[in-house]
């Protein structure tokens, strides 16, 4: 087990102040070295600072802890009443072991973990509700509880007792599966927060960055950063009128949350075609093992990239495409640079020829195709839809002409 890094700064609590029992623990990585990887990492770091600002205002949270191997982020957070652990980026990182090291510290009583970029639109009310549910479960010593935004694809979660981490097979690379493991292996009762934009939207890809930039709820650190970034805003804005029109038809492809987007009461009034495949792909390791399979992928291989997108254009006015399922089906082990460059539409920066051909075909499709990871058919789509409704209410979105009128 690695030796825990020493804190750069220890938060000061004013004399007589009531200290909350919840400790918020945020992790944020340095990110990669290519321009598009630095683009995403910068947004994630800005969102981490926004999260710390939000948590600092919650009285039920008594301690803020940041673990990061990004020196610049560590320096910026150290002056904000946050205990900062600057990790050595040259040493092997094991997520579960690092989390356990921090949670086992005596000052941590009721841990609430966040990936730093996991909740850039989380409301103060939702944060308070999460803390209250955690503290209520801490009072019941008969059985532990894990509170999470998702059981097997989590971005943030809290749990009691904190010793429960010692009873599960700690994952090395990802945080997604920890709540499910705590429920299955440690016997904790699982409480899943109601799905909302604040609980499911996170920043993993350039598509997520673009959706956040277009949303009025973008917080100060993220706003200052994103407004200076070169993002595919025009492509996203071209799709927005269709998201709020009952004359439009949408195609959602990949790890679609059918509970949200399969409902007739969703914020999208358009007719929707949902091609739902490989939900839980990362949590269950199907992408890494090569087991992921996609019917959409078989069609793509059968007809070729150009004809594939022509077929999609016959079915939909806008396509929201979680490309990771297709990439896994094709057996591609893409670098973060290639995945992100595909999302942003920077064909020249993509090294893999198959991914390059796919991206070029998507950009040349007869209808707007928005590329991304899971978020493009989940939280980012939700954020973009809200932004579209805001513009519609303000009278700044063009009218959509129905397909029958175009014929």
Q: Give the tens place of pLDDT for each residue, 273-286.
A: 999 999 989 878 89
Q: What confidence tier does 139 reach under pLDDT thresholds 50, 70, 90?
A: confident
Tell me whether residue 158 is in a domain: yes
Tell me whether residue 70 is in a domain: yes
Instruction: Please report the pLDDT score of residue 9 as a whole number.
Output: 37
Both 256 and 304 in one domain: the answer is: yes
**158-194, pLDDT tens digit by residue?**
999 999 999 999 999 889 899 999 999 999 999 999 9
Both 168 and 127 in one domain: the answer is: yes
Both 194 and 283 in one domain: the answer is: no
Both 63 and 119 in one domain: the answer is: yes
Instruction: Please report the pLDDT score of residue 18 as a whole number.
Output: 35
Both 268 and 189 in one domain: the answer is: no
Task: Decide if pLDDT at 41 tops 80.
Answer: yes
Tell me whether residue 76 is in a domain: yes
* CA–CA dist 272, 264 (Å, integer): 10
Both 74 and 26 in one domain: the answer is: yes
Both 243 and 355 in one domain: the answer is: yes
Instruction: Please report the pLDDT score of residue 88 as a whole number.
Output: 87
The residue from 180, 199, 218 where one domain ends is: 199
Q: What confidence tier does 258 reach under pLDDT thresholds 50, 70, 90?
A: confident
The residue from 151, 167, 199 where one domain ends is: 199
Both 278 and 319 in one domain: the answer is: yes
Tell me whether residue 328 is in a domain: yes
Mean residue pLDDT of the chain comes to 91
Tell me whether residue 177 is in a domain: yes
The CATH number of whichever domain residue 182 belongs to comes to: 3.90.550.10
- pTM for the model stands at 0.90
Both 109 and 247 in one domain: the answer is: no
> Higher model confidence: residue 265 or residue 130?
130
Tell me whether residue 17 is in a domain: no
Instruction: Please report the pLDDT score of residue 407 as a whole number.
Output: 44
Instruction: Please report the pLDDT score of residue 3 as a whole number.
Output: 35
Tell me whether residue 66 is in a domain: yes
Edge to edge, what strands does the sheet with 249-254 contain?
271-276, 249-254, 318-322, 369-372
Mean pLDDT of 299-310: 98
- What is the span of the domain harbouring residue 112? 22-199
Both 316 and 291 in one domain: the answer is: yes
Both 191 and 235 in one domain: the answer is: no
Both 373 and 302 in one domain: the answer is: yes
Q: What confidence tier does 16 reach under pLDDT thresholds 50, 70, 90?
A: very low
The residue from 199, 218, 242 where one domain ends is: 199
**52-71, pLDDT tens digit by residue?**
999 999 999 999 999 999 99
Domain count of the chain? 2
Tell me whether residue 9 is in a domain: no
């Amino acid at each position: 087990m690695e030796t825990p890094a020493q804190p750069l700064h220890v938060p000061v609590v004013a004399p007589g102040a009531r200290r909350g029992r919840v400790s918020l623990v945020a992790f944020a990585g340095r990110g990669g070295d290519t321009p598009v990887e630095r683009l995403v990492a910068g947004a994630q770091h800005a969102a981490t600072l926004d999260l710390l600002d939000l948590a600092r205002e919650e009285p039920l949270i008594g301690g803020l802890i940041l673990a990061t191997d990004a020196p610049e982020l560590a320096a910026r957070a150290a002056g904000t009443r946050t205990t900062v652990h600057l990790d050595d980026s040259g040493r092997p990182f094991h997520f579960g072991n690092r989390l356990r090291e921090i949670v086992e510290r005596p000052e941590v009583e009721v841990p609430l973990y966040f990936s730093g970029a996991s909740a850039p639109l989380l409301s103060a009310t939702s944060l308070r509700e999460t803390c209250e549910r955690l503290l209520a479960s801490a009072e019941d010593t008969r059985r532990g509880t894990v509170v999470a935004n998702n059981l097997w694809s989590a971005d943030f979660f809290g749990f009691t007792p904190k010793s429960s981490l010692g009873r599960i097979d700690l994952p090395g690379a990802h945080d997604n599966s920890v709540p499910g493991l705590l429920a299955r292996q440690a016997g904790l009762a699982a409480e899943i927060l109601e799905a909302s934009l604040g609980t499911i939207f996170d920043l993993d890809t350039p598509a997520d960055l673009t959706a956040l930039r277009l949303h009025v709820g973008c917080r100060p650190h993220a706003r200052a950063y994103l407004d200076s970034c070169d993002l595919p805003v025009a492509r996203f804005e071209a799709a927005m009128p269709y998201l709020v029109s009952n004359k439009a038809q949408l195609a959602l492809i990949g790890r679609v949350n059918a509970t949200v987007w399969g409902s007739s009461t969703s914020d999208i009034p358009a007719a929707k075609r949902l091609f739902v495949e490989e939900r839980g792909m990362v949590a269950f390791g199907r992408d890494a093992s090569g087991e992921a399979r996609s019917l959409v992928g078989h069609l793509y291989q059968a007809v070729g990239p150009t004809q594939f997108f022509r077929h999609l254009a016959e079915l939909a006015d806008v396509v929201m495409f979680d490309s990771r399922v297709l990439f896994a089906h094709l057996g591609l082990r893409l670098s973060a640079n290639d995945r992100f460059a595909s999302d942003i539409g920077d064909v020249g920066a993509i090294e893999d020829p198959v991914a390059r051909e796919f991206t070029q075909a998507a950009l040349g499709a007869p209808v707007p195709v928005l590329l991304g990871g899971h978020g493009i058919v989940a939280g980012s789509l939700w954020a973009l839809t809200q932004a579209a409704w805001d513009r519609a209410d303000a009278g700044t979105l063009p009218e959509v002409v129905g397909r029958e009128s175009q014929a």
